[in-house]
Structure 1
Amino acid sequence: MTAVIVHACLRDGHGGSPTTVVVDEDVPPAAAPGTSHTVWVGAGPALRFFTATGELPACGHGTVAALAVLGPGEYTLRAGGRTFGGRAWADGELVAAAFDPGPVTLREPGPAEVAPVLAALGVGPGPAVVASVGRARLLVPVATRAELFALAPDRAALRAATDAAGLLGCYVYCEPASDGRAAARMFAPSIGVPEDIANANSTACLAAARRGSVTVDMGDALGEPATITATFDNGRIEVGGACRT
């Protein structure tokens, strides 16, 4: 068995989301201690994802971390009942990786569905969207980075609201600044992650909602800067970032 910690989706070589990657053909159904997410890489390669609360059907930054451990090359991956492409390549002293997150479904939430979630976030009414790739999450826009960084959700109320709505969590974002980079925070109490340092699948959902490529900064509120890039080309999305093991 090989076990490493990968800092996934670095920003300028720093920060990133610490993710445990375990390479072993025998996959025990448990999360490793010390990081919020664990990725088990079996033969195939097949991927399985875990947090402290159980198994996930998909994990974007976990897939990026697994590709970084597999090393430069192109791969056909299996996870969550689907087969998809991923690739990794050398990026100076780092390894960059990207993958196809699969089709993204989008829908407008009903008022009763979204109101308790926005109240728990401390965000006023706005054009929120339910996006799904593996599991549904709410995409919530705010006007500025200052408003984004000032958020202090009621964690218990947010978990209750997201559980009631069948949501993985909430991806709160602001539009790109003059440098072309957006910013976001992902709150996922329903899977035992009060705030995610980097969330690649939600960034892929944002690219689908905007119908355009995005580069998103995350993790600043946690002191772990992270950056994810999602490219959108004729409906096809590829999402990834740079890693250090």
Structure 2
Amino acid sequence: MRGGGGGSPTAVMDEAPLSDDERCRVPVLMGTSHAVFVSVSEGRPGDPSVSLRFFTAEGELPACGHGTVAALAFLAERAGSAGGEEYRATLHAAGRVFDGWSVPVREEPYVMAAFEPGPVDLREPTPIECDLVLPALGVTPDVLAPGIRVASVGRSRLLVPVATRSALAALDPDFERLRAACDRLGLLGCYVHSVPTPTGSLAARMFAPSIGVPEDVANANSTACLAAHLAGQGITDIAVDMGDSLGSPSTITATVQQSPSGPLIHLGGAAKVVRTVRLP
């Protein structure tokens, strides 16, 4: 979300005895790109243990950043978190255990939620990765900026910098060609972003046709990947605008702090529960 509106609609459901095929139908039925299934068990007082599973119409994902934010908003509302009270939970997804939390925004119908996405792996792309993906994206040498990377927090994706926001807005990928390239290379998708300002402000678009999402309104885990990359350049706080090309503006924030075990990323955004639907 941005300014209380926009954002990436995500279906959130309590865990149920569904097959994976049935889980893949949920985002289709709800008209969303993703669905997250939530299972809550008792943990420490004030710190429930929550298991998360993420699906698109194409299958299960090991992680989903905006799905995690949506789940935290759902859980906070159900717990009755209000009046500035913080909601906290220990989250479990794809073998990882990590912290998540949300705080209501005063006099607004939404919460600010955040979590720790975990370590990010970064590497230089191979020539064949660039040769297959960049033409499919429509990124030409005159708009490509330095710093292209392959990054992973669960699954690999390509981070592609372009010189300006206008160059980003003008992209018109060949989605069939891009899907074929990503399938061949084992990539989740491509996160194309503008060069950040000195204060860490930038824009991005996420293209992931291989998982049934030609363009994602908001992609938090890719933002975490970018934050880890930019931290090596001394930029430790970023605010990324997404969704404008789809008429659903959102802003994702990420902060990188150094810890004894390495860089620690806090990833967040605003979210609210907009409607409740009983599925057939």
Aligned to 2:126: 110
Tell me which moved more, 112-121 or 220-229. Answer: 112-121
Q: Tell me if the contact between 1:26 and 1:42 (Cα under 8 Å) persists in the aligned partners.
A: no
Tell me which moved more, 89-98 or 20-29. Answer: 20-29
Output the aligned Cα RMSD.
Answer: 1.4
Opposite residue 73 of structure 1, the aligned amino acid is Y
Aligned to 2:174: 154
Q: What count of residue pairs does the alignment treat as equivalent?
A: 236
Shift of 1:180: 4.5
Aligned to 2:244: 220
Q: Tell me if the contact between 2:199 and 2:238 (Cα under 8 Å) persists in the aligned partners.
A: no
Shift of 1:176: 2.8
Aligned to 1:4: none
**Distance in 2 separating the partners of 1:178 and 1:207:** 14
Q: Considering only CA atoms, is the larger Rg found in Structure 1 or Structure 2?
A: 2
Aligned to 1:23: 14
Secondary structure of the corresponding residue to residue 4 of structure 2 = coil
The TM-score, its normalising length taken from structure 1, stands at 0.93
Aligned to 2:45: none
Tell me which moved more, 125-134 or 183-192. Answer: 125-134
Are the structure 2 counterparts of residues 106 and 172 from structure 1 closer, same or farther at C-alpha, using a change threshold of 3 Å?
A: same
**Distance in 2 separating the partners of 1:27 and 1:156:** 31
Show CA shifts across 1:89-141 (max 9, x none): 11122111000000000000110122110010111345310000000000000
Which blocks of at least 5 consecutive residues in structure 2 are unaligned? 41-48, 77-85, 274-280
Matched ranges for 1:182-221 at <5 A:
182-211=202-231, 212-221=236-245
Which blocks of at least 5 consecutive residues in structure 1 are unaligned? 1-9
The TM-score, its normalising length taken from structure 2, stands at 0.81
Secondary structure of the corresponding residue to residue 190 of structure 1 = helix
Using the aligned pairs only, state the percent identity. 60
Aligned to 2:5: 14
Opposite residue 22 of structure 1, the aligned amino acid is M
Tell me which moved more, 222-231 or 173-182. Answer: 173-182
Q: Tell me if the contact between 2:200 and 2:237 (Cα under 8 Å) persists in the aligned partners.
A: no
Matched ranges for 1:28-107 at <5 A:
28-29=19-20, 30-31=23-24, 32=26, 33=29, 34-43=31-40, 44-71=49-76, 72-92=86-106, 93=108, 94-107=110-123
Show CA shifts across 1:69-108 (max 9, x none): 1114111100011111111111122111000000000000
Opposite residue 20 of structure 1, the aligned amino acid is A
